[in-house]
Chain A
């Protein structure tokens, strides 16, 4: 499309113009800053999700109790629309939170009433995949290995942390990868909350100001491309990380194990 769209919206060629303008990349609201925020938020949320889901998943997988409940909860949560949950939390939380300050570098001042809902929604998205992959990964461990661990005198906790979890790492990492991609994608919906940054800001604001060549449609498309690139890069990086931290003995190639 080299022409402006017949309906008055800027044509796709304006995206190139937008991307070539250094003013759109620099500054506290430029592409680089928003990209940085996007990565920052994702990192924080995944870190929190891992802190919650991995211990819980390890406990469930090790003891074998609670799998059905966890699976059911994880499935049910997936059916809840992200936008709806976000809006619910905004309406409930924001009139009740009066914290005026922010957290320098992460949350702009006045932003906490809107960041809390966004954080909660994204945590709810990120925890289930990590949880299910953790307990599934642990349950999939050869029982002989677990027996050996207990047999050599380890306590249940010790065995879980030193033996079971490392064995389950490939599966756990695949869950973390899946959760990370979900969070990156859904940060665009989270930007419906005011002040939440990241590339989603361009998209939600662009949607409200479509015809503007600087803040409208071209910015939306550029941010969309940014997200696509981020997803690809992140997935690649996490795959590499997975290879790094997986013990060579348990990389997933079951057919190569001696029978």
Chain B
């Protein structure tokens, strides 16, 4: 009955949008240009600003993104409430589904994998287009994606990498059964997590340790050796600061993870879409990483978001 869960998630009858239709006029040079509109299809969005509650997952970057979108939307007259720290994907998507929240910041690859586990899309454009396809027929509207990406990684300490001669994930194959992996609980069951490690790289860790997503606990368990490898998100400053090494992923089990806002179709208005598009055109991976560093160092996410939005001229 497992596929049944996906079917039940589909109370979502959607029409995808790329309301912010302009073709790739972003200042970004990463990967491919953000996808073009292809949206002649749908009815135009309401032009009144409207109101929305935007949620977030329970890690700092997600909160930050929520405040970024919230700030941009507020500047265009939208009534925004932020409800941060809801939990992992199943929890906040359930909240989106039952109208507890109207929007949430997401990552294209991971969300697509959740909605359509059999996906094989890897590049930003492919992932995004497929995501829009699967959001169709559900009540979800996916906004314009930003060039900024935050990917899962398998990260080890420099000492561990040296000891087992690790450079890419595949190098773990022989030694993984004696090692432990720390990652957020869903990593155990999502298609691009433990199953992909096993099926694509032949890597099976001896022990899986569920950890709160990123943050100081994840970092400490890796640095102190409680776990031998951990899923540290790629924008986490801990990778540089603690001299960690993210193993390379030549087989691309981790697809593109561009930041993207997801709305309930019945909540989305044109000003909201425009505001999110504005954020998308300015948010690069390095900008995101810089903001995350500030938040990890103790700056309030709302404050960090507000000053960045002002600097970029979005508000």
Chain A residues within CB distance 8 Å of chain B: 4-10, 14, 17, 90-91, 94-95, 97-98, 100, 108, 110-111, 113-114, 192, 194-195, 201, 204-216
Q: Once bound together, how far apart are the Cα atoms of A210 and B189, in whole Å?
A: 11
Instruction: Report if A8-B186 is in contact (Cβ < 8 Å); known contacts: A90-B217, A205-B210.
Output: no
- Provide the residues of chain B in CB contact with A213, threshold 8 Å: 1-2, 5
Instruction: Report if A111-B226 is in contact (Cβ < 8 Å); known contacts: A207-B91, A213-B1.
Output: yes
- Provide the residues of chain B in CB contact with A207, threshold 8 Å: 87, 91
9 A-B residue pairs with CB within 8 Å: A8-B8, A95-B223, A110-B180, A110-B221, A192-B212, A194-B182, A208-B212, A210-B87, A213-B1
Binary interface profile of B, 208-236, with partner A (CB < 8 Å = 1, else 0)? 01111100110011011111000000000
- Provide the residues of chain B in CB contact with A212, threshold 8 Å: 90, 186, 189
Binary interface profile of B, 85-98, with partner A (CB < 8 Å = 1, else 0)? 00110110111011
- Provide the residues of chain A in CB contact with B91, threshold 8 Å: 207, 210
Instruction: Report if A194-B188 is in contact (Cβ < 8 Å); known contacts: A8-B8, A8-B97.
Output: no
Is A215 within 8 A of B209, CB to CB? no
- Provide the residues of chain A in CB contact with B5, threshold 8 Å: 4, 8, 10, 211, 213
Q: Which residue of A lies closest to B114 (CB)?
A: A211
Is A9 within 8 A of B94, CB to CB? yes
**Is B11 among interface residues, defined by CB-CB distance under 8 A?**
yes
Report B249 CB to chain A, min CB distance, Å.
23
Q: Once bound together, how far apart are the Cα atoms of A65 and B184, in whole Å?
A: 51
Residue among B184, B185, B226 facing the most chain A CB atoms (10 A cut-off): B226
Residue among A91, A205, A207, A210 facing the most chain B CB atoms (10 A cut-off): A210
**Is B250 among interface residues, defined by CB-CB distance under 8 A?**
no
Q: Once bound together, how far apart are the Cα atoms of A114 and B227, in whole Å?
A: 12
Is B217 within 8 A of A98, CB to CB? no
- Provide the residues of chain A in CB contact with B210, threshold 8 Å: 194, 201, 204-205, 208
Is B209 within 8 A of A195, CB to CB? yes
Given contacts A209-B88, A210-B91, 19 further A-B contacts (CB under 8 A): A4-B5, A4-B8, A7-B94, A7-B95, A8-B90, A8-B94, A14-B1, A17-B1, A94-B220, A98-B225, A110-B221, A110-B224, A110-B225, A113-B226, A114-B226, A194-B182, A207-B91, A208-B184, A212-B186
Is B220 within 8 A of A215, CB to CB? no
Chain B residues within CB distance 8 Å of chain A: 1-2, 4-5, 8-9, 11, 87-88, 90-91, 93-95, 97-98, 180, 182, 184-186, 188-189, 207, 209-213, 216-217, 220-221, 223-227
- Provide the residues of chain A in CB contact with B184, threshold 8 Å: 208
Q: Once bound together, how far apart are the Cα atoms of A114 and B224, in whole Å?
A: 12
Instruction: Report if A205-B226 is in contact (Cβ < 8 Å); known contacts: A110-B221, A194-B221.
Output: no
Report A155 CB to chain B, min CB distance, Å.
50
- Provide the residues of chain B in CB contact with A7, threshold 8 Å: 94-95, 97-98
Is B220 within 8 A of A6, CB to CB? no
Q: Once bound together, how far apart are the Cα atoms of A111 and B184, in whole Å?
A: 17
Is A216 within 8 A of B226, CB to CB? no
Is B185 within 8 A of A208, CB to CB? yes
Report B88 CB to chain A, min CB distance, Å.
5
Instruction: Report if A194-B90 is in contact (Cβ < 8 Å); known contacts: A110-B221, A211-B5.
Output: no
Report B132 CB to chain A, min CB distance, Å.
20
Q: Which residue of B lies closest to A13 (CB)?
A: B1
- Provide the residues of chain B in CB contact with A114, threshold 8 Å: 226
- Provide the residues of chain A in CB contact with B90, threshold 8 Å: 8-9, 209-212, 216
Is A6 within 8 A of B11, CB to CB? yes
Q: Which residue of B lies closest to A211 (CB)?
A: B90
Q: Which residue of A lies closest to B226 (CB)?
A: A110
Is A215 within 8 A of B226, CB to CB? no
Q: Once bound together, how far apart are the Cα atoms of A14 and B8, in whole Å?
A: 14
List the 10 shortest-distance A-B pairs measured between CB atoms, nearest first.
A110-B226, A211-B90, A208-B185, A210-B90, A7-B94, A4-B8, A7-B98, A8-B9, A209-B185, A205-B185
Is B189 within 8 A of A215, CB to CB? yes
- Provide the residues of chain A in CB contact with B224, threshold 8 Å: 94-95, 97-98, 110, 113
Residue among A7, A9, A17, A90 facing the most chain B CB atoms (10 A cut-off): A7
